[in-house]
Structure 1
Amino acid sequence: MKHIDLNIFQATHRSVLPQKGRILIAEPFLQGPYFARSIILLTEHGPEGSVGFVINKSTDVYPDEVIEDLFNFRGELFIGGPVSSNTLHFLHTLGDLVPGSIQITPTIYWGGDFEHIKKLINDGKADSKAVRFFAGYSGWSPGQLESEIAEKSWIVTSLDDYQIMRADSSSIWQESLEGLGDVYKTWSNFPSNPAFN
C-alpha cells in the first residue's frame, strides 16, 4: 500500500516575498485579538521594518463619531493593528486629490492631508468606497516580519485593489485562502476554535 502524506498543517512553501502593496494572510492557528484570521495590507517594508493595516477587523465605532467635523461618512472604522491604537490613519483611492499621500498599489494611497480628506468627504466627493479609516497600525521591527513568515505565521500574497478597499470584512480571510488553492482551501474551513471541530 502506497503511503500518502496529507499533512494539512504543512502547506507548500510559497516564495512570494513581503513588499509594499502585498498582503499578509494570517495562518488559521495564529491567535490574538488583532491578528487572528487577519488580512494585512503592507504599506511599508524595508530595512527599517514594516508597517501595515488590518483590513478585515471593523469596530462598533464609526469614523464620524471620533473625527471632529466629519459629516455623513457611512463607512466603518477598522482596527489597523496594536501599535498606537489611539491614532487615526486612512487608505484611499483618491490619488493626487489628497496632497501628501503615498502610493501603495496602482490605485491605493496611504495618508495625506487629513483636513483635505475630510473636506472631500463633507463635499460629497469621497465616500466609504474610496476611503477607509483605521485606529492604530501593525508594525514590525527590522527582520521581525521575515522571522514570522519563516515560522509560517503569515502567507504573503496579493489581492486586487477592489478587494482590498471594498471586500466584505467578514469573509475576505476565508475567500483569500480559498483563492490560493491546495491545502489553503482546507485551512480556510478550519474552525476558529479547534475544540469545536
Structure 2
Amino acid sequence: MNLTHRYKTQTCLSGNILLSHPSLKDPNFYKSVVFLSAHSEDSGTIGVILNRPLNRTLEQLDDQFKGNPYGSIPVFEGGPVETDKIIVAAWEWMKESSSFKLYFGIDLEKVDSLAKESDDVKLACFLGHSGWSPGQLEDELDETAWLVSSLDHELFLEMGKQQEAWKKIVGGMSQELRLLVEAPVDP
C-alpha cells in the first residue's frame, strides 16, 4: 500500500482515503477510514466512512427494499452530513488485469447492470456522507488531524472490521503511529 502521512495538498485528493490521526477525538471521525469521492478547491470535499458498519441491510433500513434482490446490501455510516440519504457503491477486483473498478454514488439501475455483467461485483450502501467546505480539509491536514493514503482494493475487504482496518493502516505508516494506535484509550 502506498502511504503518505502529513500530506500537504495542492492536488486533487479524489479517490484517496483519509485516516483520522490517533489524536483526533471527534466522535464523528474517531478511528475513521474515509474514502474521498470528490475534492476540489472550489467545491470542497465529499467522502464516506468505510469502517463503520451499521450491522443492518438496505431492507432493514427501508421497507421499499423488502423482497428486492438488493435488500441484503450492507449499510454503513457514511458520515454526519445528510444522514437521511443513501449512497450506493459497487466495486470489483479484476484478477486478470490486477485492476480495481469502483462505482460510487450509483443508482439501482446501474447496480442491476453491474450485477448482470459479473458475479464478482460487491455492493455497499452508506447512510449519510462526510463533507468539508472549500479549504477546510486542507486546514485539517495542515493541523495533522488526518493522514492520507492511496486507495487499495484490499481495504474494501476490511470494511466490516471497524477499527481493525484503521489500526492496521495507520499503525503501518510509522513506528510513532504504531505506538499511538496501540496506546490505551484512557491510560
What's the TM-score, normalizing by structure 2? 0.78
Matched-pair identity in %: 28
Q: Post-superposition shift, 1:90? A: 1.8
CA contact (8 A) 2:5 2:148 kept: no
Instruction: Pick 1 or 2: higher relative contact order, CA cutoff 8 A, min separation 6.
Output: 2
1:71 maps to 69
CA contact (8 A) 1:108 1:161 kept: no
Partners of 2:36 and 2:147 in 1: how far apart? 12
Deviations 1:45-100 (A, max 9, x none): 102100000000111321222242333654421000001000000221269xxxxx
Partners of 2:178 and 2:25 in 1: how far apart? 19
**Unmatched 5+ residue regions in structure 1?**
1-11, 96-104
Find the partner of 1:174 among 158, 161, 167.
167
Query: Does the alignment pair 1:185 with 2:178?
Result: yes
2:57 maps to 62
Partners of 1:73 and 1:126 in 2: how far apart? 17
How many residue pairs get matched? 171
CA RMSD of aligned residues (A): 2.8
2:21 maps to 27
1:43 maps to 37
2:126 maps to 134
Query: Does the alignment pair 1:162 with 2:162?
Result: no
Runs of 4+ in 1 over 4 A off after TM superposition: 72-75, 118-121, 123-127
Residues 150 and 73 (structure 1), Cα distance of their counterparts in 2 relative to 1, 3 Å cut: same
Q: Secondary structure at the match of 2:76?
A: strand
Larger Rg: 1
**Equivalent position amino acid for 2:74 in 1:** E
Segment of structure 1 superposing worse, 52-61 or 12-21:
12-21
